Structure 1
Amino acid sequence: MEYIGQTLPDITVYEFAGGEDTSIAIGPLAWRLPDLAFKKKVLVIGLPGAFTSLCNGTHMPGFLDHYQDFLDLGFDELWCIAVNDAFVMHAWGQSLGVNGRVRMLSDGSAEFVRAMDVTLDLTDKGMGVRSDRFAMVLENGVITFFVREEPGLLQMSDADTILSRLQNQE
């Protein structure tokens, strides 16, 4: 699938709402991706799952470490999308100390990753259908940059590599 120049699919994702105390949560807010990306430059990070070893220990922390560098490149927001529910995404963000720097978006039914053809079938490992590891840049909902990892690898979609590639595009 050719991604550059494509618009985001009209898929709904979910985001935890209600503050740090999950006992008084408003519940997951539903967002249509085209609405969420409207008039924004967004870096989207797709990951196999919250709390998984590579995602938790290396992949997401790199984007948190380089958060300001991405803002300096003109990004309005960073999103992390995984096939987990909004409560798990929120808890994961809390454990990582995201503190609003990255929107932790839930694709709990894998609708987005199926529509984008970036699924990773981990059924034989008890995890079901997940997201491949990928990164994309959206400008007003249009994909202008896209990389996808081979399963199990983290060589092209890590923060350092993405940052370097985007800096070299300027």
Structure 2
Amino acid sequence: MSIQVGDRVPEVTLKRLREGLETIDTYTLFDGRKVVLFAVPGAFTPTCSARHLPGYVEHFNDFRSRGIEVFCMAVNDPFVMQAWAKTQSVPDGLQMLSDGNGEFTRALGLEMDASSSGMGIRSRRFALYVEDGIVRASFIEEPGQFEVSSAEYVLEHLPG
């Protein structure tokens, strides 16, 4: 079962590159903050690179003006996430998070099997709006779709 509105974000560690490779737990990432976490099936994949991440880059300041941080996550290693961020001109402050082993994705109940495409277990495409570690809104795509997790849709449908 996937995470629901009202649920606390599960505690798992993720990786990110800043000054070097960092391990950070999800409670530290989400507690005391308003966050939109969006996840993509894979860095450098067509829809993720052409539409999903670019929308959040374009609207990054719109989220920030509402006091909301933006995190992008994929079941990729942190070096791939960093390289993808560079090719996509990701602004400072938009965190690129690596769930390399898919542990957070599985804890959220939002994994998918992309083995038929040679990609193994990946994250479904989704966005979550989280306040102080509690999911306040979820935008989970049906397989093969890109509608409800876009930056534009999430901005229009944020609670409050």
* Bin for the TM-score computed over the shorter chain: over 0.9
Q: How many residue pairs align between the two structures?
A: 159
- Tell me which of 118, 127, 142 is aligned to 1:135: 127
Q: Match for 1:5: what amino acid?
A: G
| Residue of structure 2 equivalent to 1:112 | 104
1:61-100 paired onto structure 2 within 5 Å: 61-75=54-68, 77-100=69-92
| Residue of structure 2 equivalent to 1:22 | none
Per-residue deviation, residues 130-165 of structure 1 (Å, max 9, x unmatched): 000000011111111111101111011111111111
Scaled by the length of structure 2, the TM-score of the pair is 0.95
What SS is found at the alignment partner of 1:97?
coil
What SS is found at the alignment partner of 1:46?
strand
Residue 70 of structure 1: CA displacement? 0.9
What SS is found at the alignment partner of 2:157?
helix
**2:57–2:91 contact (8 Å) kept in structure 1:** no
| Unpaired segments ≥5 residues, structure 1 | 19-25
Cα distance in 2 for residues equivalent to 1:84 and 1:100: 20
Residue 88 of structure 1: CA displacement? 0.4
Residue 65 of structure 1: CA displacement? 0.6
Cα distance in 2 for residues equivalent to 1:38 and 1:119: 23
| Unpaired segments ≥5 residues, structure 2 | none
Residue 17 of structure 1: CA displacement? 2.5
| Residue of structure 2 equivalent to 1:17 | 18
Scaled by the length of structure 1, the TM-score of the pair is 0.90
Residue 101 of structure 1: CA displacement? 3.5
Give the 4+ runs in structure 1 shifted more than 2 A: none
Residue 72 of structure 1: CA displacement? 2.0
What SS is found at the alignment partner of 1:160?
helix
Residue 73 of structure 1: CA displacement? 2.1
Q: Match for 1:90: what amino acid?
A: Q
> Radius of gyration: which is bigger?
1
- Tell me which of 49, 52, 59 is aligned to 2:45: 52
Q: Match for 1:13: what amino acid?
A: L
Cα distance in 2 for residues equivalent to 1:37 and 1:148: 19
Identity %: 38
**1:64–1:101 contact (8 Å) kept in structure 2:** no
Cα distance in 2 for residues equivalent to 1:8 and 1:30: 17
